[in-house]
Amino acid sequence: NAGVTQTPKFRVLKTGQSMTLLCAQDMNHEYMYWYRQDPGMGLRLIHYSVGEGTTAKGEVPDGYNVSRLKKQNFLLGLESAAPSQTSVYFCASRRPVGGAKNTEAFFGQGTRLTVV
């Protein structure tokens, strides 16, 4: 019963390096989200996807790109990492569309990224 799995769990990058964070869910969820969590600021939405092949910007999209080539995977890319992107990144997914209860989102365990 994997749920939402994020890889890697930890990463240290040098400024200017690139990397991709992977989120995989096995619950057949349509919607997937990437959040970042910073101290005292809760979770802020970076990008999201409402289905395979679609992506949209969230609240803080600058410096990030995403792709949803397969329904079960949502990738978050940093093309040129900056110290301001040091954060904990969380992926979430939601049940298939339809019905009030499909608004419950389930989270991965997070990726702790440090950019030096």
Partner 1 sequence: GQQLNQSPQSMFIQEGEDVSMNCTSSSIFNTWLWYKQDPGEGPVLLIALYKAGELTSNGRLTAQFGITRKDSFLNISASIPSDVGIYFCAGVSTGGGNKLTFGTGTQLKVEL
Binding-site ranges for partner 1 (CB under 8 A): 4, 31, 33, 35, 40-45, 48-50, 56, 58-60, 90, 92, 94, 100-110
Of the pair 17, 67, the CB lying nearest partner 1 is at: 67
Q: Nearest distance from residue 66's CB to partner 1, in Å?
A: 12
Q: Nearest distance from residue 110's CB to partner 1, in Å?
A: 5
Cβ atoms of residues 92 and 33 within 8 Å: yes
Extract the runs of DSSP E, i.e. beta strands, from the chain: 4-7, 10-13, 19-25, 31-37, 43-51, 54-57, 65-67, 73-78, 87-94, 105-107, 111-115
Q: Nearest distance from residue 12's CB to partner 1, in Å?
A: 17
Cβ neighbours for 20, distance < 8 A, ≥ 6 positions apart: 75, 76, 77, 78
Of the pair 47, 78, the CB lying nearest partner 1 is at: 47
Of the pair 64, 108, the CB lying nearest partner 1 is at: 108
